[in-house]
Structure 1
Amino acid sequence: MSLNSSAQFDPILVADVGGTNARFALITAFNEHTNQFVIEHINIFPSANFGSLESALEQYLQTVSHITPKRACLAVAGPIKSGQVHLTNLGWHFSVSEFKTHFDLQQLEVINDFAAFAYAAPYLDPKQNVIVKSGQADDNANIGVIGPGTGFGAACLVRTSQSTAVLSSEGGHISLAPVNELDTLLLNELRKDHPHVSIETVFSGPGITHLYKAMSAVKGVTAKNLDAAQISSLANSGECAVCDATLNQFCDWIGSVAGDLAVVYGALGGLFIGGGILPRMQARLLESRFVERFSQKGIMSQYAGQIPVILVTQDNIPLIGAAACLHNSK
């Protein structure tokens, strides 16, 4: 049964499990008027305090002992293969079927955290997020999601008139394409240290450092030993022109990357940007050539031009996505 704003139903357990924290909550309703899930009883546990996800969940369930959820969806920062889940940074491993039996669940879905982002996209609150590029979203078309963070994630919510499904991908590892002369000069420098320059080589936390080193070489300046946080600080304070140019180029060039992936995914329903980097560079992103470069797709420029781009800044995306995964499955 789908959730709706009037029917009575049992609360649904959702989780966001990462290397630092395991966050649990209950979905208690879906408001059809606002298109929002009602999330209650959020509790966060430091992952390092537990030897397994089972023990963390057992502690959470003790905090809501008056409720026994029968359906659950877990969004996890790790690979899921053949019903086995590995959380590499924690050393946690579990079998989906054994987990379902252990907690006496009627339904259990386990999804990657980036798949959760894709599921969440149609249910995000427009008032809490930032329009980077306006457009005309087709409510029945695919949605693309990307996110530069520790790495670069990319996925697509495939929508038909009958159903929805998430297409996970390794889009961050496709080759990074140069669009203008500066891109080409930077790519030539990047290739000296990286035989394969992928999107992730540049558009990730470590990637900012790679781009800074390449920018220094192009400008004939000796690069300092700076990490991404230092580059951002020096750029924002005006102390380092090369750092400033690096962040500007990051925002410009990712416009081309976002446009490429939007066209690949047929994302006429919109492209959503998450991850930990660009929300902290919001002003710079909005002042950059992102929009111009997003739409520069030759004979597909008009196609790309109609796609809206949203910078996601609201909280609890994996929990919303986990709820949406179950919501869409019924």
Structure 2
Amino acid sequence: MNSKPNSEFDPILVADIGGTNARFALITAFDLQKKQFVIEYNITFPSANFGSLEAAITHYLSQVSHIQPRRACLAVAGPIKVGQVHLTNLGWHFSVAQVKAEFNLAQLEVINDFAAFAYAAPYLDPQQNIAVKAGQADTDANIAVMGPGTGFGAACLVRTSQSSAVLSCEGGHITLASVSELDTQLIIELRKLLPHVSVETVFSGPGIAHLYQAMAAAKGVDAKNLTAAQISELANSGECAICDATLNQFCDWIGSVAGDLALAFGALGGVYIGGGILPRMQARLLASRFVERFGAKGIMSQYVSQIPVTLVTQDNIPLIGAAACLYVNEQS
């Protein structure tokens, strides 16, 4: 894909399909100098307005009827298996091959949302994101992406000097490890609530409530029945010391998890953290022991010390990643 004027560029239909919203756009150019995609006709619809993916695509294309894209990439919040996609929260099911044929596409890729995040990583704008940990990224090395939201997602952009590809995984279901005495106490309490204490059981929206329950028990305080939003509100207002300790521990402990995944993925190209939670906790994250715990890896501490960590607050990440997926595949 070259940086062409819009009149010569073969546009790409990209989409970010989630349980709440279906967002569509057209990629109309690639700026080679800035390494950024030009996103136009960005329109968001409530996903529930449509009974199927095909109906949503048809509606979007009717809004941009003067352009007929021949290639597309869709980022979806759900699993893709043998060319079949199930979006459980929407009740949508579709075949990649059938969608490709129905819309007369020469090329169609469907990827999950964290794969899109990984594809997007090299094309993010440093000015729009926040450096959590300084470091020196190796431009030919792997990049790890991760983040807590409704669940915990992780993926890796595997890179060599010749090519790159995305490795998707189920990193959120790795068993959560303790580093400090408090971690150990919390895991003991969490095991009373949950049969398997995974990364996602703490680092997710529901996980914050689990961590609060465990923190209260570890501190010998009766826990209230609080949601993640209520915990955050009470912590930020200073009304609840246990809630405050919960969010501080969340930011500290996720440093250890990020360091573990950086080692597992060999992420000398950098670590990017996103998801729906941490961008709303910027000040607390930057004031936490995240960096200290990220680097506390024994004989591999020097290895992780050089890895930069970025909190991604930039918009349109799935759309950028969808475009980058086609770009990477064309370059390989």
Report the TM-score range of the alignment, normalised by the length of the smaller protein. over 0.9
Are 1:274 and 2:271 counterparts?
no
* Equivalent AA in structure 1 for residue 10 of structure 2: D
Residue 152 of structure 2: aligned partner: 152
Could you tell me which residue of structure 2 aligns to residue 165 of structure 1? Answer: 165
Residue number in structure 2 paired with 1:4: 3
Q: Deviations over 1:11-53 (max 9, x none)?
A: 1110111111111100011111111100001111111111111
TM-score using structure 1 length: 0.98
Amino acid at match of 1:235: A
Corresponding residue for residue 197 of structure 1: 197
Q: 3-state SS of the aligned residue for 1:211?
A: helix
Aligned to 1:106: 106
Shift of 1:169: 0.4
Shift of 1:195: 2.0
Query: Which residue does 1:222 correspond to in 2?
Result: 222
Contact 1:3 1:327 in 2 (8 A): no
1:162 Cα offset (Å): 1.8
Mapping of residues 46-57 of structure 1, within 5 Å: 46-57=46-57
Instruction: Confirm or deny: 8 A CA contact 1:14 1:323 kept in the other structure.
Output: yes
Q: Could you report, residue by residue, the CA deviation over 1:270-289 in whole angstroms, capped at 9, with x for unpaired residues?
A: 00001000001100000000
- In the alignment, the residues of structure 1 paired with residue 5 and residue 57 of structure 2 have an alpha-carbon distance, to the nearest angstrom, of 29
- 1:37-93 CA-to-partner distances (Å, cap 9, x unmatched) read 000011111111111111111111111111110010010111111111111111111
Over aligned residue pairs, what C-alpha RMSD do you find?
0.9
User: What is the distance in 2 between the residues matched to 1:144 and 1:71?
Assistant: 27
Structure 1 residue 102, shift from structure 2 partner: 0.3
**Aligned mates of 2:167, 2:248 — CA distance in 1:** 31
Alignment coverage as a number of residue pairs: 329
The 1-side partners of 2:126 and 2:5 are apart by 23
What are structure 1's unaligned runs of at least 5 residues? Answer: none
Tell me the TM-score normalized by structure 2. 0.98
Distance in 2, Cα, partners of 1:144 & 1:10: 30
Secondary structure, counterpart of 1:15 in structure 2:
strand
State the 1:9 CA deviation.
2.0
What SS does the aligned partner of 1:4 have?
coil
1:264-303, aligned counterparts within 5 Å?
264-303=264-303
Equivalent residue number for residue 30 of structure 2:
30
Return the letter of the residue paired with 2:296. Answer: Q
Structure 2 alignment gaps of length 5 or more: none
Which letter maps to 2:160? T
Deviations 1:295-327 (A, max 9, x none): 000000010110000000010000000000001
Task: Give the deviation of 1:6 after TM superposition.
Answer: 5.2
